Chain A
Amino acid sequence: ILNVEQSPQSLHVQEGDSTNFTCSFPSSNFYALHWYRWETAKSPEALFVMTLNGDEKKKGRISATLNTKEGYSYLYIKGSQPEDSATYLCAFVNTGGFKTIFGAGTRLFVKA
Chain B
Amino acid sequence: DAGVIQSPRHEVTEMGQEVTLRCKPISGHNSLFWYRQTMMRGLELLIYFNNNVPIDDSGMPEDRFSAKMPNASFSTLKIQPSEPRDSAVYFCASGRGGSVSYNEQFFGPGTRLTVL
Measuring CB to CB, which residues of chain A are less than 8 angstroms from any residue of chain B?
31-32, 34, 42-46, 49, 51, 89, 91, 93, 97-102, 104-105
Contacts and interface: CB of A to CB of B under 8 A. Distances in A.
Interface of B: 31, 33, 42-43, 45, 48, 50, 55-56, 91, 97-99, 101-110
B45 A43 contact: no
B103 A98 contact: yes
Contacts of A91: 105
A44 B109 CA distance: 9
Given A31-B102, A32-B102, A49-B101, A100 B45 contact: yes
Question: Which secondary structure dominates chain A's binding surface?
Answer: strand
* Residue from the set A32, A89, A99, A100 with the largest chain B CB neighbour count within 10 Å: A100
Contacts of B98: 97
Given A97-B99, A98-B97, A105-B42, 8 more contacts: A32-B103, A34-B104, A42-B109, A93-B103, A97-B98, A98-B103, A99-B56, A102-B45
